[in-house]
Structure 1
Amino acid sequence: MSFQNTASFPGAGIPEQVSFDRKELSVILSLYGRMVAAGEWRDYGISSLRECAVFSVFRRTAEHPLYRIEKRPKLRNRQGQYSVVGIDGQILKRGHDLKTVLRVLERKLIRAVD
């Protein structure tokens, strides 16, 4: 015998918190690994909040994040749900495609060879 709950709870379709999925984390961690190998970044932190998910990048553990990669699903139909925010709070890039948004950080890897 099967039992179905037909009562609707307020907010049943709204997730408790926003988080990065496996594909998004793969793209972010790929960039993170390259930046660690280049000696630019050393630590990271992930926050899953009610309205956004944040991947923070640090040069050292005990300081403010150099960059924050944010996912805000409410902005999906407007400017795009992904953004890169600098240390001063300025939005460096915003868009719908995560790989495109992260290109602003990949420029740091390109250096002139002496």
Structure 2
Amino acid sequence: MSADVTPLDPGPSGSVFFERRELDLILRVYGRMVAQAEWRDYAMVGGRESAEFAVFRRSGDAPAYRIEKRPSLQARQGQWSVIGEGGVVMKRGRELAQVLRVFDSRKFQVVE
């Protein structure tokens, strides 16, 4: 038996999802916005390239905002982004706390 046998390549690391501390930061913002009656529902999705936390003003609507984690962009623009309605990137960066500040600087009002 040879000592220089290399292990099999594990391949892709699997799905991207949020770590506990990341989810804690996101849920703090979500809770604050629910308390202000701005948001009412959320959904989370993990995939091969990204994880997404989508928030809704009303159940059944299109997402009002999406908080996206895309690790492949960490070295470039940063892995975190907040995407508004219509796919507009509102903020992008390497640190989640910094990106989530976009919700601190805006006064949100539901327009019907």
TM-score of the superposition, structure 2-length normalised? 0.87
Among 9, 13, 16, the residue aligned to 2:14:
16
Determine helix, strand or coil for the equivalent of 1:46: strand
- 1:9 offset after TM fit, Å? 3.4
TM-score of the superposition, structure 1-length normalised? 0.85
**Structure 2 counterpart of 1:92:** 90
**Structure 2 counterpart of 1:46:** 44
Structure 2 contact 91–99 (Cα < 8 Å) conserved = yes
Cα shift readout 1:28-48 (whole Å, capped 9, x = no counterpart): 000000000000000000000
**Structure 1 counterpart of 2:60:** 62
Q: Any stretches of 5+ residues in structure 2 without a counterpart?
A: none
Structure 1 contact 35–109 (Cα < 8 Å) conserved = no
Q: Any stretches of 5+ residues in structure 1 without a counterpart?
A: none
Paired-residue identity, %: 51
**RMSD over aligned Cα atoms:** 1.9
Q: For residue 90 of structure 1, what is the amino acid of its counterpart?
A: V
Q: For residue 92 of structure 2, what is the amino acid of its counterpart?
A: R
Determine helix, strand or coil for the equivalent of 2:101: helix
Moved more, 31-40 or 99-108: 99-108
Determine helix, strand or coil for the equivalent of 1:64: coil
- 1:61 offset after TM fit, Å? 1.1
Q: For residue 9 of structure 1, what is the amino acid of its counterpart?
A: D
- 1:105 offset after TM fit, Å? 1.5
Q: Which runs of 4+ in 1 moved over 3 A?
A: 108-111
**Structure 2 counterpart of 1:78:** 76
2:62 and 2:92 map into 1 onto residues whose CA distance is 21
Q: Does 1:25 align with 2:23?
A: yes
